[in-house]
Chains A and B, each alone.
Chain A
Amino acid sequence: MVTANDLVKTYGKKNEVLAVDHVSFSVKEAEIFGLIGPDGAGKTSIFRMLTTLLLPDSGSASVQGFDVVKDYKAIRNTVGYMPGRFSLYQDLTVEENLDFFATVFETTVAENYDLIKDIYVQLEPFKKRRAGKLSGGMKQKLALCCALIHKPTVLFLDEPTTGVDPVSRKEFWEMLKRLQSQGITILVSTPYMDEADLCDRIALIQNGKILSIDTPENISAAYPDKLFAVKANKMSTLLKELAQFKNASATYSFGEYAHVATDSKQFEAGNAPVEFEKELEDYLADHGLENIEIKEIKASVEDCFIKFLK
């Protein structure tokens, strides 16, 4: 459906900034494919090359069999694109924006109303409001409506949930699932690791390079170390002391917990994870921490990402 083959993109006068570094992946039909990575990882550059807005320095890419350089017109006719920045007319109302984009794509709102109905019913009470005066979540929903209005076969969503509250984010992903069930292929990028699990397959990306491509489950399962979540009364002291703990290969804060990774080889030799926990608890208690809580956990995509970065 969508394939990228060794894409390279550089910026700057002397091409000194390498934004996308030999990226290859392919997206199947009716799949939600996530590009997961921090700001500046090169997600937007990849999206722009796939939506024909940027020319790759080298490599090739195609959308539905159309080449992004040669057949750019064909691609522009069929895909839906929602840029990372809110890109609708702030001084036009919700209704006017939708009508305008419908005519730009040579269709009408009525024609494809069933596709956007679920989303649009939430916007309907505000249809006379100017787009610039909508809340963040509402703006994104409107932008999604506008990107969907011509019934695209492939949908490119560049960070659609950035700056959106958690409830709206959840709703947004539910919408994407519904669109997927209608056979639309969706490419989505996000800096939020917790959204990775909602994709069918993800590509972890950092500094323009793809670190890993697989289903979120497989990526988590491939985590090589044993991982423990630790909590105590003083978070900052806890992190400081953990960093000194000899048997930890990595420690970092993770929400209200601190995650401690340790080489899983020691457990093959007969050591039980319980013993490691005991050892860690004693160590922390010796260093004046109280209410210590330790539990073994499964790695999330974010843990994998952090591991990749090391």
Chain B
Amino acid sequence: MKQFLSFVKKEFRHVLRDRRVLLILFGMPIAQVLLFGFALSNEIKNTKIVIVDYAKDYASQQITTKIAASQYFDIDKNLLSHDQLLAAFKKGDIKEAVIFPVNFAEDLSHQNQAQIQIISDATDLNISNQVIAYLTNIILNYQAEQNQLQKIPYRIIPETRMLYNPELKGAPNFVPGVMAMVLLLVCVMMTAVAIVKEKETGTMEVLLVSPMKPWTIIVSKAAPYLILSLLDLISILVLSVFVLNVPVEGSLVLLLAESTLFIVTCLMLGILISIQTSSQQIAMLISLVGMMMPAMMLSGFMFPIENMPYALQLISNILPSKWYYIIVKNVMIKGTGFAAVWKETLIMAGIAMLLFLVSLKKFKIRLQ
């Protein structure tokens, strides 16, 4: 026990005396959260939209007011000709255009049918899709109101609701992803590098020729990073709650417990990498390219897993970050309890166990 504590103390000294490590440990998560929160947002905000109203009647005015009420659009009311409109799109001055034809209200009331043209700059597909969905929603909404007033026979109108994230904000989507990424990076890379460093500087040689048992070396090497990762996790949560306004909907205790399990899994992965490699560069490369990239691409955080080819879907199953991402989304954003995530928890625990056993088996009690 004294050996263990002394080792942990030593490990903390290494970390606290290395500014670069400190920067990676605490600078990176904060930078990532803030970057994703403010700069790399794919929310539709202030989309430039022009409303070309040839009708200028009560119906078109009402719809325009509804659109204007939304904070997502920068509205420009202008009567542009067809050519002018196209030129404006080309120059990139506007992203969307809503066009009311002449006699819009009249058509609506007399023929029970009217048309609105929505033109969208589809070079940015994401925004374009979201805006069109949003505009369609507004128009359907208006239509529904009119129907109520006029008591015209039933018409079924599909109603979409964006659950858990009604404003389509980006933050609830990326906070679980950033958590998974940061913890993965800190735990896997830092532990891998920390153990390999002892091999590289020759201190492992001295440690091996000592009464210290291999698993004590491993555990005491990993323990400080468990604590540091938990600190990282807490700082991400504080940032997400107070700066990005993404609250923890579910149980905080459950979230922390699941995160600890994920951290332990990652630590095991880091240890396994360090056992199999002999230099810090290789360890870093494997953690970055071999772990970070697939974790980012395949855990569902950047691209939906359902859209991937079947082979990639299968691969994604072995990534602990996939399961952690699902758990955090459930617990933190949807606010579900353990009952909803026990399967994912079990899979992650299984991966951790497997990694631990493999590490124990592969640990070299000698050089080479």
Contacts and interface: CB of A to CB of B under 8 A. Distances in A.
Interface string B2-22: 110011001001100110000
B212 interface: yes
A105 interface: yes
B201 A104 contact: no
B24 interface: no
B14 A103 contact: no
Contacts of B6: 99-100, 103-104
Contacts of A89: 10, 14, 201, 203
Nearest to A55: B366
Contacts, number: 73
Nearest to B16: A91
Interface residues of B, number: 24
A100 B202 contact: no
A13 interface: no
* B206, B211, B366: most-surrounded residue (chain A CB, <10 A): B206
A85 B202 contact: yes
Interface string B267-283: 00000000000000000
Contacts of B57: none
Contacts of A147: 206
A87 interface: yes
Nearest to B17: A91
Contact of A53 (B3, B18, B367): B367
B63 interface: no
A86 B208 CA distance: 15
B365 interface: yes
Contact of A48 (B7, B365, B367): B367
A83 B202 contact: yes
Given A53-B367, A77-B211, A87 B202 contact: yes
A53 B366 contact: yes
A173 interface: no
Contacts of A87: 201-203, 205-206
Contacts of B365: 72
5 contacts: A48-B367, A89-B10, A91-B18, A100-B7, A104-B210
Interface of B: 2-3, 6-7, 10, 13-14, 17-18, 201-203, 205-212, 365-368
Given A53-B367, A81-B209, 13 more contacts: A48-B367, A52-B209, A55-B366, A76-B210, A77-B211, A81-B205, A87-B202, A91-B17, A92-B13, A92-B14, A99-B6, A104-B207, A105-B210
